[in-house]
Chain A
Amino acid sequence: MSESRLFSTGTKTLTKREILRFLRRPWNTFLPPFITNVLYFSVFGVILGSRIQEIRGVPYIQFILPGLVVLGAIGNAFENASFSIFHGRWNEYIHEPLTSPLSYRSMVFSYVASSALRGIIIGVLIAVIGAVFTPVHSLANPAYAVVFLLVIATLFAGLGVIGGLVADDFDHLTVLNQFILRPLVFFGGVFYSLDALSGAALTASYLNPMVYMVNGVRYGVLGVSDIPVNEALGVLVALTVVVLAVDVALFKRGYGLTD
């Protein structure tokens, strides 16, 4: 029963399997971001935030909320895709979908969609935690908030697929997540405005893609941004398309999957 349609029974099954994998382990999926973000909001938002003046007319605790949503969403999207693929390679059970008549596009779709969904769920969870600490009565530009969150979760799920395919050891996954992803996010304007920077630091920040993601979501939630959001959205969408094309090409080539 070979099916070449993207949304075939096979695609739905693999997507469902991937979603169930993280939903059935709530202590692993939801508890760590819950605790981490309660700590972020308590320490940076409440304790330190009360001593920091407003940024762009927004209280500090509200200013950091969109950045923490982005941090959680992209971290989880990336980690879910990279771990799922690498663990499947490590234990060879990725052979189950690989030896099935699923198309390469379908496999990539399943891993990316399920991982992006995890990122979005965690992003929403963090937003809810933030709303407990600081009331955000309404979203300034809800469509931007939704679209930016969707695009960046998809982009990092796609990057996670690449990470899962190129990693040769669990150590490599840690390097990708902790030593590349996390510094980029922390220097991406989660905790400060670009107004606080000047010279080389400001120029370097404009080269950091995280700046555009954090500011895009911040514009959606609070209506303030350091960068022009429409151009940022265009660049991120284009980047996402390129990353997904690379994912499909790697699957087709069997990179990290076949001998």
Chain B
Amino acid sequence: MPRVPPVLIRPVASIRTRMPPAIRVEGLEKDYGDVQALDGLDLTVPEGSFFGLLGPNGAGKTTFINVLVGLVRKTGGRAEVFGNDVEEDYQGARDAIGLAPQEFNVDRFFPIEEVLHHKAGYHGIPEAEAEERAAEALKRVGIYDKRDVRFDWLSGGMKRRFMLARALVTDPDLLILDEPTAGVDVELRHDLWEVITDLNDEGTTILLTTHYIEEAERLCDEVAIIDSGRKVTVATPDELTEKGSDTLTVYCESAIGDAPALDDERIERVAVEGDAIRVRATSASEVVPSVLRQLEAAGHTPLDIDIERTSLEEVFVDLTRREAGADADAESHEAASDSAETGDGDDGEGAGDRVTAEASR
């Protein structure tokens, strides 16, 4: 038996730790004239993860993805895919990515199976293997019997399935899905979830953007929320929901008049509806003893309690609203500073004009 050099029998884990992340972006910027689509985005997507990207419309999600695949040219910062710079090592970066975009950007001249042969060929996959992979990808998404049809003749759901097949045909290490289930029925959505979950189990890194919070909550290991081209937070879905406030409802024996003053700094808000008191708190289960004790001391008789955990959707709305508020504050602060500097504090409109003119230059 030949001797195996020590370097080849390193534990797999130690090799894995040396792998660069699937995506690493630092200070990523993209502007379209006055519009700042990406504003210093920092993000790392670990290899093998199922990573969700959430954000309101216009947050910069699609711009971010298009920078990675070379359809948008960044104006600043750095972006890498498995250690390949998206501009300097663009071939390595693009080879690693399978993309299913929101828009149907499919070659309409050829039957869908041939479109897959071509896509595989562009990635250097020889013809015979490309044919095998195309058949396999179409079977995987359940539209193999439509292989001789052109894209325009597929139904809406089949088109979505095809977009996934095209992303899979090159066997990518990083699968990017830009709202893959937008506008599809529940059955198809579950089918697509199953396919991409299996792929992730097989080791493929998944980057998913979605407007369906339930989708992110159900599928993703980690979620990044971005807004106005910036990262708001990155956390697991559980960690995010813990950031929100729960609602504790205490049902009492009789109707309660005014909301009682409850002395606990963890409590954010108290409201009364008939015989029920609704208490908003960071972690409702921890304030239950304190709330019950104070209600009894005030002469009420609690009969039942109910705790409603905050949803990821509520946290998402809260975080993006807060971000928008911070932006508005910053802008008004900036405008006020400029007014003060120019000595035109009373002439708000004129100062505003000057600020705009300065920004335009």
Contact = CB atoms under 8 A, between A and B. Distances in A.
A70 B97 CA distance: 43
A12 B121 contact: yes
Contacts of B123: 1, 10, 100-101
A8 interface: yes
Interface residues of B, number: 35
- A-B pairs with lowest CB-CB distance, top 6: A13-B121, A100-B122, A1-B124, A92-B105, A101-B95, A101-B91
Contacts of A99: 69-71, 94, 97, 99
A17 interface: yes
A92 B91 contact: no
B314 interface: no
B71 A9 contact: no
Interface residues of A, number: 32
A165 interface: no
Interface string B59-101: 0000000100111110000000000000000111011010101
Given A13-B118, A258-B73, A93 B108 contact: yes
9 contacts: A1-B95, A3-B91, A9-B125, A13-B118, A13-B122, A21-B109, A96-B106, A102-B91, A259-B73
B107 A10 contact: no
Nearest to B72: A259
Contact of A254 (B73, B97, B109): B73
B119 interface: yes
Main secondary structure of the interface of A (DSSP, over half): loop
Interface string A12-52: 11101100110010000000000000000000000000000
Contacts of A101: 90-92, 94-95, 122-124
B98 to A, nearest CB: 9
Contacts of A95: 71, 101, 105
B91 to A, nearest CB: 4
A230 interface: no
A232 to B, nearest CB: 37
A91 interface: yes
A98 interface: yes
B95 A92 contact: no
A3 B125 CA distance: 10
A97 B124 CA distance: 11
B108 to A, nearest CB: 7
Contacts of A114: none
Main secondary structure of the interface of B (DSSP, over half): mixed
A178 interface: no
B126 interface: yes
Given A8-B124, A259-B71, A96 B118 contact: yes
Interface in A77-118: 88, 91-93, 95-103
A20 B90 CA distance: 28
B121 A258 contact: no
Interface in A238-259: 254, 257-259
A100 B123 CA distance: 6
A13 B94 CA distance: 17
A255 B242 CA distance: 47
Contacts of A14: 118, 121-122
A203 interface: no
Contacts of B347: none
B103 interface: yes
Contact of A258 (B71, B108, B117, B119): B71
A53 interface: no
Given A95-B105, A101-B92, A101-B124, A17 B71 contact: no
A96 B119 contact: yes
B121 A93 contact: no
Interface in A127-176: none
Given A9-B125, A100-B122, A101-B91, A258 B70 contact: yes
Contacts of A12: 121
Nearest to B121: A13
B32 A259 contact: yes
B216 to A, nearest CB: 24
A23 to B, nearest CB: 11
